Amino acid sequence: MDQDNHNSMEPAGRAVPHLYWRLFASFFKIGAFTFGGGWAMISIIEREVVDKNGWIERDDFLDLLAVAQSLPGILAVNIATAVGEKLKGVKGSAVAALGTILPSFLIILAIAIFLTPDVIKGNKVISSIFMGIRPAVVALIVAPVISSAKAAKIGLKTVWIPLIVALMISLDLGAVSNPILYIFLGAVGGYLYFRWSRRKLAERKEEDK
């Protein structure tokens, strides 16, 4: 990675460990106090990284966001990795990513140790609470289907894609129900559509001449 990119906000030497520590502490705080995952985290990360600490310019942050959400994986961790990389290279990205992961890991581990499947089944109060929660969780996943369809500008011409994907995956037919297959097909299909529409455009330009 090129060195110019890691704009050193601190003078070299003794101040360096300090920045690592602040980077870790910032992302630890973000991981520990934001509910609702990636999208809810973005504004908080922006406040920490751009406004409070001045580590990154706002324009650069938006570019970095575009990269982080284009790649697979967990959005918050991707953003942390990219911010850390911009500030301090590979070590910075490791520190920032670890800071984001650690709070959820520790909290969930503490819960998982006590709330095992047997405890949920065996305790009447807990099992009745979860009986009410389960149908609500399903509804909470239906809501983002609609909002993501709006964001992806799904119209009459494209609505067949999510319909077929959802149907095939939930039918559970073995290999053809593998979500990875449809991610792959989507990427290839998008690429081919791009080439086709570019050729159409070129042909039309030819005709105009």
Partner 1 sequence: MGFYLKLIWAYIKIGIFGFGGGYAMLSLVEKAVVGPGWISEQMFTDIVAISQMTPGPIGINSATYIGYAAPGTVDPALASPLWGILGSVLATLAVTLPSFFLVLYASQFIRRHHESGVIKGIFSGLRPVVVGLIASAAIMLMNVANFNPNHIGWQLGVNIAISVVAFCLVFFPIPWKGKRIKLHPILVITLAGIAGYLIYGL
Residues in 13-52 that interact with partner 1 by CB under 8 A: 31-39, 41
Taking each helix axis from N to C end, the angle separating 160-171 and 179-208, rounded to the nearest 10 degrees, works out to 160
Report the amino acid identity of residue 102.
Answer: L
Q: Binding to partner 1 by residue 175, rule CB under 8 A? A: no
Residues in 105-134 that interact with partner 1 by CB under 8 A: 105, 107-109, 111-113, 115-117, 120, 124-125, 127-134
Q: How far apart are CA 63 and CA 135, in angstroms?
A: 39
As to burial, measured by CB atoms within 10 angstroms (0-12 exposed, 13-18 middle, 19+ buried), residue 128 is exposed
CA angle 147, 142, 76 (to 5 degrees): 60
Closest CB to partner 1 among residues 15, 187: 187
What's the min distance (Å) between Cβ of 196 and partner 1?
A: 9
Residues in 131-170 that interact with partner 1 by CB under 8 A: 131-146, 148-149, 152, 154, 158, 161-167, 169-170
What's the min distance (Å) between Cβ of 156 and partner 1?
A: 12
Helices (H), 47-74: 58-70
The correct pick among 21, 188, 199, 203 for binding partner 1 (CB under 8 A) is 188
C-alpha 163, offset from chain centre: 23
Q: How many residues bind partner 1 (CB under 8 A)?
A: 103
